[in-house]
Structure 1
C-alpha cells in the first residue's frame, strides 16, 4: 500500500470529486493505492468537514440549491439502485389503473418495465410518452413548456391540465428529501409535482440513495403526503423520516 500522507489523500479525493462530481469507493481505493477502510475514514472526515457527501458506494460533490444535472448525467448514476426501485414500483401497479409517471431517469426505467393490461398512463415527459405509445398503452401527455434539462412539461398550461385529472397512483422523481420536505431545484417543476401529488389517490416518490438528505431550492410538499420508495433504508435520517411517512424498502 502507498505511504501517501492523509492530507495528500484527502486533497486527491477532493480534486477528483470536483472534476467528476461522483466517485465510487473502488475507484478511490485504486487511485490512492490505499485500503478500503482507510479511504472510508478519509471520506467520513471530509464529509464532517463539509467538503463532500457520502452516498451508497462512494461520495459526491455537494450540490448548490438550484443545481440540476441533465438527463444524460443522471442516467449513468446509481443504475442498479434505480432499476431495483423501478421494479418495486412496477409491483404496485395493477391492471386497469390510471397512473401518472413523472419525468425522470428512474421513472424511465419503470416505463420500460410496464406490462399491465388496460392501463392508462399520464405523463409530463415527451420521451416517456413516445415509449408508452410504442408499447401500445393508452397514453395522455401533459402539454406546456418543455424544460430541456429534465424533459418535463412545466408552466400554467401543464398545471391546469394535471389539476383536471385524477390518478389511482402517481410515481414521481425528486431531487431531495429530508425529514420534513420533498425538494427540487426549479420552482415551476415543484408546482407540477405538488399538483400531481394532490390529484393522486396514492403518490409514490422514487428515491435512490443519493437523494436522501439532499435539499434543493424549491419545496414541493411535506413528506407526510407521499410514500417513499427507496433502497436506502438505514441511518438516523431515514429512521426519522419513517416516523412521519411510509417508507417502502426495496
Structure 2
C-alpha cells in the first residue's frame, strides 16, 4: 500500500473512532508499527491528527469534550498509576473531594483509607463509594450527561458550604499558564472546589499536557499536578511553577 493510501486509511479510522491505537492501525494496514508511527508523525505535522501515547486521536475544538465512555479507553495504564499515587495521599479521618471523571473513578477503586468522608459530584462515583462502605456525600444539581458531573447553581451552593482537606480534580487541558476544561459551568464547579480545599491535586495523563480547553479554571500554581513521567519540555516548565508528582 502506498504511503498516501495508508494515510487516508488512518484518517478514515480516526474519523470513525476518534481514538485509534497503534495495534489497531497495524492490523488494519497490515504493516509494521514503525511505519505507522512515521505516518502518524507526518499527519500530526500536517495538522490532521493529534498523537497520544500508543496511538492518535482526532483534533479537538476548544469546546469539544469526550464522554466518559470515550475517555475510559484512553491511556488506561497511565491513569491507573496516577490513581494509585493519588489514593496513597489520602489519610484516615480526612474529608476529601473526588471529582467526576475516569481517572478519579480508578482512584476510588484504589482507596485503602476507609475511615474517610468523600464528597463527590458524580452519581456513578457515589454508588461505588457506598458499595465500599465509605462515608459519602453527593453534590446535587443538574447532571451533565457526558461526564456524569453535577453542575449549576445548586451544586455551587452546596460546595460553597463545605471545606475539604484534599481535593482531586480532573482537567481536560494543562498549559504553561493554567488548567482548563471545555464547559464553563463545569469550570465554575472546579474553581469552587479548589477554593474550598486545603490542598488540591489535578490528576492528568500525558495527553492533557500542552492542551488547552475553552474555560480557564485556575493558574497552574493553585494545584499540584499528578501525571506520568515524560520528557515534555512543558512539564519541566510546570515544575518551576507548581508541585509536579511524576509516577
Pairwise TM-score range, normalised by the shorter structure: over 0.9
Q: Does 1:149 align with 2:166?
A: no
Bigger Cα displacement from structure 2, 232-241 vs 131-140 = 232-241
Cα distance in 1 for residues equivalent to 2:240 and 2:33: 33
Q: Does 1:162 align with 2:159?
A: yes
Q: Does 1:127 align with 2:124?
A: yes
Q: Does 1:242 align with 2:239?
A: yes
The match for 1:224 is: 221
The count of corresponding residues between Structure 1 and Structure 2 is 247
Is the partner of 2:213 in helix, strand or coil?
A: coil
In the alignment, which of 46, 52, 56 is matched to residue 53 of structure 2? 56
The match for 2:71 is: 74
Give the CA RMSD over aligned residues. Answer: 1.4
Give 1:32 shift.
2.2
Cα distance in 1 for residues equivalent to 2:42 and 2:225: 29
Once superposed, which parts of structure 1, at least 4 consecutive aligned residues long, lie more than 4 Å away?
A: none
The match for 2:178 is: 181
Q: Does 1:105 align with 2:102?
A: yes
Cα distance in 1 for residues equivalent to 2:229 and 2:197: 25
Give 1:232 shift.
4.4
Cα distance in 2 for residues equivalent to 1:41 and 1:23: 15
- Equivalent residues of 1:208, 1:232 under 8 A apart: no
Is the partner of 2:211 in helix, strand or coil?
A: coil
Is the partner of 2:119 in helix, strand or coil?
A: strand
Give 1:240 shift.
2.0
The match for 2:8 is: 11
Cα distance in 1 for residues equivalent to 2:27 and 2:144: 39
The match for 1:211 is: 208
Is the partner of 1:69 in helix, strand or coil?
A: coil
**Where does the alignment leave 5 or more consecutive residues of structure 1 unmatched?**
none
Q: Deviations over 1:70-107 (max 9, x none)?
A: 22222222222211111111111111111000011111
Cα distance in 2 for residues equivalent to 1:115 and 1:60: 34
**Where does the alignment leave 5 or more consecutive residues of structure 2 unmatched?**
none
The match for 1:197 is: 194
